Chains A and B, each alone.
Chain A
Amino acid sequence: MSKERIQISEALYDIMPSDYQDLVKSATYGKEDRGWKDIGTSKELIEQHSLCAGCPESMAFRYILASLPNPEDTVMVGSTGCTSLVFPMVAVHNIHSLFGNQNAIASGLKRALSVRFPDRVKDVVVLAGDGATVDIGLDMTLQAWFRQEKFTTICFDNELYANTGGQESGLMQKGFVAKMAPVGKLFDKVRLPEIARESGCHYVVNCTVSKPSLVEKVIRNAVHIAREIGPTYLQLYTPCILEIGKNSMEGLQEMRDSEKPSERFAYKEYVSEPAKQLLTELAAKDKERKAAAKQLAAQAQAN
């Protein structure tokens, strides 16, 4: 939808809740260089949520929604889990249907949107938990990549099944004692980033959400590459503070601790050759655009 069409009917504007008045007045739909810095100065696309207080998933959501390059033409796909309590509050159309089928839904959705809007950009972004992505939905996660479906898959890796009370998941660390892992998990954390690369993803990042600027960068890259080239995968550490026994202030530190060079969420990135080329082109265009804007501003000042 073009930004112009996200408008309240004039005759009924005054009765709309202020949340929506703000959304049309100051959300950053259609803003070319939208990003995490808009948080605080513009209306965010997420309204309220019912995650645990201090849950890093809420931070991740805010950064991601602030960074999507094209929210007015993006449809998101979620799965069952803690994230599904946030999605109703997100001002981007989004789908939840079953647990684990998110990449199948996204495959069908992306193709439908391409058939219906052949001349327009419609981005599809999946956002699901680790249980959904790696365990119950692994088949559909991988097959979408094999087929080179053009959408982004984001996994909120909290290393367990949070929504059902903290059971073992494939992305849990070996040895961790959890429900359904009564003597500690017996096998290694599944290496999905490597598998993603081998499965045909053109952009893979493994990191935490401690730094909003980094989240912005990887989201923009992932969406642009998925749009033009093929599947992309982001695995973001969003620790479940409830289940690992941290309090609400400790999520950020937990992420910082886990992203140290020797740790499992040290920043890792893979970019395919065609994706590298695209990123170079995009960077050049960005530079051009900024230079033009600067020039325009200088001219305006001169006049």
Chain B
Amino acid sequence: MAEIKSVIGTQNKKGQTYTDTWKMMNEAPRTPSFFTGSEVIKEALRRASCDVMIAYPITPQSEAAALIGELFAEGYIGDYFRGESEFAVMSQCAGSAFGGARVFTTTAGPGTMRAMENFPMWAGARLPIQMIVTCRGINSPLSIQPDTLEIAYLLNTGMLVWHAETAQDFFDWILKGYMVSEEPDVHLPLALCCDGFFVTHTKDVVNLTPADMCLPPYDPYRSPVPCMDMECPPVRMMRDPFVMKSNYISYATHASWQQEIWAAVERSRKHSIHWLNGLIDTENTDADIVIVASGTAVSQGREAIRLLEDEGVRCGLVKVKTLRPWPEEEIREATKNAKHIFVPEFNVTGWLAKEIRASVPNHQRVHAGPHVCGGMTMPPEIIVSEIKTALGMKTFSLAGRGS
């Protein structure tokens, strides 16, 4: 800790000043800039004091991953290369994190699935890697279009999973994400998800922090596990030794280990609340109807609420920012007055609705929908229609979805 503090105020080789993250994110002046989501990822990385970034092309994250390559060429990133597959890339990220580096990578859809074996390993090994997931379809036939099904697979890996709505979220959360996941009591990987194309390929005004300020560097010696660099004890150390040998109570060790990963996810609550100003955002949750959503479904929900208001229907909104840690209490509290809870989602299974159903009393209040998937857009009108139908109000019929 002392080491990090002493770095603050000094400059890196690019002339950026290592800045207290709270000041940088909350007090430093912001410059409005008109950027694509991919460019915003690059700008966040410019300020992240990242040691190693490893890339692999897959739409819709290829542009961001290539732009970070430019940052490397300019000298902002310690090392950068293209791996041979997402499985290899995620293992390469692990190698760098075992060696004490701050690591960044990006992937999407089939890439996430290809790499899946790595994610519980990352979490089990307490590696605070940050991975951007720009969600797209995963099933056959191939689709590069936005679809959030892959997030469902990440929820039980032990990683932190956040779901950004806008490019602004992205910019802020990449930087804040390192602060949460590198806390010694957390020290877990973060999957920072967004809906592909909607966020990555559209331009938006994003308020950027000064380009001459950057995060304090990662200090691997605060890690809850020894860093593998031969600079710290114990010298006789394997990360991670097999504790499954059937002697003594070693099964209990593995069980205790797993519990510790989920305990660390729990501990991230306090830090996430601090940095993200709560795990959820709410608007008008005293209304009878509440929309609960994550990602760009939140934006569509907000628009639907405006349309409903015009018709005299009052509707509240819950934006779920973190899926892991799961804001169970917050959602229960925010929906306690709701007679109807609507969960619009960009995937076919409705995993968010399932999570919410398991969290709130009287779960029959939860309407799992509307759903779209495979790259379809979600016009606010279909949310309006879903709500009005449930309320027994007359609604227009929407083409293309059958009934």
Contact = CB atoms under 8 A, between A and B. Distances in A.
A and B: direct contact (Cβ < 8 Å)?
yes
Interface of A: 1, 5-6, 20, 23, 47, 50, 72-75, 77-78, 84-85, 87-98, 101, 104-117, 122, 139-140, 143, 147
Residue from B51, B95, B100, B232 with most neighbouring chain A CB atoms (10 Å): B95
A50 B242 CA distance: 12
A127 B192 CA distance: 34
A112 B80 CA distance: 10
B230 A74 contact: yes
B238 A87 contact: yes
A68 B238 CA distance: 17
Interface string B220-244: 0000001011111001111111100
A193 B80 CA distance: 29
Interface in B51-96: 51-52, 54, 78-79, 81, 83-85, 87-89, 91-96
B309 interface: no
Chain A to chain B: the 7 pairs with minimum beta-carbon distance, closest first: A108-B95, A112-B99, A115-B78, A104-B91, A108-B92, A112-B101, A109-B95
Contacts of B83: 104, 107, 143
Contacts of A84: 242
Contacts of A113: 99-100, 229
Interface string B92-131: 1111111111010000000000000110010001000000
Contacts of B240: 96-97
A122 B229 contact: yes
Contacts of A104: 83, 87-89, 91-92, 95
Nearest to A20: B236
Nearest to B217: A116
Given A113-B99, A139-B85, A108 B228 contact: no
Contacts of A73: 230
A88 B234 CA distance: 11
B51 A116 contact: yes
Given A105-B91, A111-B95, A115-B101, 18 more contacts: A6-B235, A78-B238, A88-B236, A88-B241, A91-B236, A93-B228, A93-B230, A94-B237, A97-B91, A104-B89, A105-B92, A105-B98, A107-B83, A109-B95, A109-B98, A111-B96, A112-B99, A116-B78
A152 to B, nearest CB: 15
A73 B85 CA distance: 30
Contacts of B84: 139-140, 143
B225 to A, nearest CB: 11
A87 B241 contact: yes
A109 B88 contact: no
A214 B321 CA distance: 59
B52 A111 contact: yes
B229 A98 contact: no
Contact of B99 (A72, A75, A85, A96): A75
Contacts of A140: 84, 88, 91
A284 B78 CA distance: 35
B232 to A, nearest CB: 8
Contact of A112 (B96, B118, B121, B239): B96
A30 to B, nearest CB: 12
Nearest to B233: A6
A153 B84 CA distance: 18
Contacts of A5: 231
Given A91-B236, A94-B238, A101 B79 contact: no
Given A6-B235, A88-B241, A94-B238, A105 B230 contact: no
B238 A97 contact: no
A108 B229 contact: no
B98 to A, nearest CB: 5
Residue from A77, A92, A113 with most neighbouring chain B CB atoms (10 Å): A113
17 contacts: A1-B231, A23-B236, A74-B230, A85-B242, A88-B241, A92-B235, A95-B239, A97-B95, A97-B98, A97-B239, A98-B121, A108-B93, A108-B103, A109-B96, A112-B101, A139-B88, A140-B84
Given A93-B226, A112-B96, A116-B51, A98 B118 contact: yes
B125 to A, nearest CB: 7
B95 to A, nearest CB: 3
A47 B100 CA distance: 26
A203 B253 CA distance: 42
Nearest to A46: B236
A62 B78 CA distance: 36
A123 B95 CA distance: 14
A98 B88 CA distance: 11
A105 B237 CA distance: 16
A93 B237 contact: yes
B235 A108 contact: no
